[in-house]
Amino acid sequence: MPKRRYITTPIYYVNSVPHIGTALTTLASDVNARYWKMQGHQVTFLTGTDENGTKVFEAAQQSGQDPMAFVDAVSAKFVEVFRGLRIEYDDFIRTTEERHKRAVQALFERLREAGHIYLGQYEGWYDVSSETFYRESDLVDGKSPDGNEVRWVQEENWFFRLTAFQEPLLAHIEANPEFILPEVRRNEVISFIKQGLRDASITRANPGWGIPVPGDDTKVVYVWFDALINYIAAAGWPDGDWQSLWPAEVEWMGKDILTRFHATLWPAMLMGAGLPLPKTLVGHGWLLMGGEKISKSKGNVVAPMELAASLSQTANCELDFAVDAVRFYMASVLPLESDATYTRDDFDKRYNSDLANDLGNALNRSLAMSARFVDGKIPDAEIEAEVAEAIAHAKAGFAAAMDGYRVADATQAAMGLVRFLNKHIDTRAPWALAKAGDPALPSTMRSILMALRAAEGLVRPIMPVVADEIARQLGLPPTTEWSSIGEASSLPAGTPLASPKPIFPRIDTKAKAAEQRAKPQPEAKPPKPAAPPAEPIAIDEFAKVELRVARVLEAEPLEKADKLLKLTVVVGDERRQIVAGIRKNYSPEDLIGRQVVVVFNLKPAMLRGVESQGMLLAAVDEEGGAILLRPDKEAPEGAKVR
Ligand code: ME8
């Protein structure tokens, strides 16, 4: 059987339900697995739950439940959340399963027979939160280096001769630069090993929960020694066709469990048993909240499916698309070297700018224009060279990023194409080509649709349901093969397009903020008396004012003017620069991509030395601030307002 690409996540402790931190690694692995599947690789993607440790046993006791019933329930919760997030795993292992127990006992026996395991006396500290043994000298102010409580342990235990593997480990790491990624983690591991390893205690006194040591059931196997074996257990080791999966192509994890466990203990166990090592270990950074790691023990958790449900409400977008928006968020912030901070505000902002403005607009505009300019069908024409080049560039950028397991960079590469597409539409201005009867119109429209089709393929590993919806609106089947992205055959001419349907409505951040501001003010201000009506005018006087729908392309604060923003808008086929006094109420990212109404035939005026070639229409709030007007739904580019 040919070797498959085996990809694994850590198995999660079932002391509590999953949060966006734990979901992060699984999402990264899922994007990775889906991308490889599109590339045509045979992939097996493994995740699962870690159920035998002290921490889980104590959580079960605290909940007053039978431990097995407790782990069944929490493990099922992981399955439910992962399914909800569309994690397309191929296998889910639980360490309470028979196949896992057999592998753990077999590996223990094999290492003991090879002389790598001996009986000794353990005396030292134990951190239940991270299930780690510590020496007195490791402690910081009486706590573990991570600040967790520790307890004193004195027991007869079996030890693994980790010291014997110090040199072989260093040699392997040095000879295989791709073994530990990113490089900064590799350096951390090297210096950890060079400080000197100690033999590792690999059993605990049997509390009535865990995998008994073969031939000595007064003890159970230490949870880390036990858990790491899941990767080969799920591959079918010691019997079965395990060699078709093992060694893993990549093992994904957070940096917290890389150095001590996956990059030291685990490869030493494999070396001792004469088994090959995984090709690559990726240790990504953490997602923080309020300056701290999001974690079950700290209680600062955000549940991924709740986040999706809340987004679906605030943005009024379908829950299916909101789930993909959560996936997109995790993929685009996925920290590799450093950590990333989650705030709901940042989540909403990214949704608005990347999904509502960039992707949502690209889809709507492309389809709306196709309906008007090419009869709602994919035209048959040449692809413009710069579009072909942008697609090739994004595709290569995505692939190169994924080769280094840089999921956030791959996401950026995909979004780069979407942003290119929006800019390209503005520069090529199909509405102007149509007006001028320019024969280049079909080629421009086909190029636009081709970029959209390619973007559908590129975002698919990250947002599978959104990609399906883009394909549906294009009237085409989903892109399943990576190699077809950008190919002429992926966009059959003559295909009728569906009518555009928005997938990511904007969150009205101003309304949200106003709602929040309104809440803590119980004493409502008395309403201001309405201003007296102005002198009536005749209709032909009003008709002199030419009002048009424009789209904001760029927005930036005007230096040394704290009330002004400088905007570039496109009105039909013309670009205009407008200086608007709306900075108090709008930030540039609120504006880019949205439609506004402008006074088109206003004489240019100089504001703080900058020419303003028009004026935006806005309602005035109680404090004299601006509430911008916009069409009730996407209007044709440059439409007249009457
Ligand atoms: O350590 N940011 O399980 P665990 C990023 N059972 N990633 C995070 C995170 C955060 N805030 N919080 C959790 C265990 N993670 C062991 C693993 S493997 C043989 C045994 C992710 O439930 C990250 O991948 O504590 C981290 O390594 C893992 O969840 C820890 O999950």
Per-residue pLDDT averaged across 110-128, rounded? 95
DSSP 241: S
CA 121 to ligand 1 centroid distance, Å: 30
Quote the distance between the C-alpha of residue 216 and its chain's center.
Answer: 45
Cβ of 25 closer than 6 Å to ligand 1, yes or no, is yes
List the residue whose alpha carbon is closest to atom 15 of ligand 1.
22
Strand partners, 46: 8, 91
The answer, yes or no, to whether residue 529 has pLDDT greater than 60, is no
Question: Distance from the CA of 51 to the center of ligand 1, in angstroms?
Answer: 14
Ligand 1: distance of its center to the CA of 508 in Å?
Answer: 35
By alpha-carbon position, which residue is closest to atom 12 of ligand 1? 21
Q: Is 267 in the pocket of ligand 1 (CB under 6 A)?
A: no
pLDDT tens column, 230-246:
999 999 999 989 999 99
pLDDT at residue 525, rounded to an integer? 47
Place of tokens 């307890």: 151
Query: Which region among 64-68, 256-260, 381-385, 638-642 has the lowest average model confidence (pLDDT)?
Result: 638-642
Residue 286 has pLDDT above 70, yes or no: yes
Give Cα 111 distance to the centre of its chain. Answer: 40
Gap from CA of 12 to ligand 1 centroid (Å)? 6
Return the SS3 of 562. coil
CA 264 / ligand 1 centre spacing (Å): 17
Structure tokens at 348: 């909403």
User: Given a cut of 70, is residue 196 above it in pLDDT?
Assistant: yes
Q: Which of 19, 24, 27, 51 to mutate to test the pocket of ligand 1 (most atoms within 8 A of CB)?
A: 24
Ligand 1 centroid – CA 636 distance (Å): 49
Q: Is 13 in the pocket of ligand 1 (CB under 6 A)?
A: yes
- What is the reported pLDDT for 559? 82
Structural domains of the chain, ranges and CATH numbers in brackets:
5-293 (3.40.50.620), 339-490 (1.10.730.10), 539-641 (2.40.50.140)
CB 134 within 8 A of CB 152: no
CA distances from 527 to 522, 523, 533 (A): 15, 12, 17
Q: Is 18 in the pocket of ligand 1 (CB under 6 A)?
A: no
How close is the Cα of 151 to the center of ligand 1, in Å? Answer: 22
Q: How far is the CA of 3 from the centre of ligand 1 (A)?
A: 28
> Measuring from atom 19 of ligand 1, which residue has the nearest CA?
228
The predicted pLDDT at position 1 comes to 44
Q: What is the pLDDT of residue 636?
A: 78
- The answer to whether 219 and 158 are in contact (CB under 8 A) is yes
At 74, the pLDDT band (50, 70, 90 cuts) reads: very high
DSSP string, 407-442: HHHHHHHHHHHHHHHHHHHHHH-HHHHHHTT-TTHH
Classify strands 151-160 and 117-127 as parallel, antiparallel or unpaired: antiparallel
Ligand 1 in contact with 256 (CB < 6 A)? Answer: yes
The minimum-distance atom of ligand 1 relative to the CA of 10 is 18
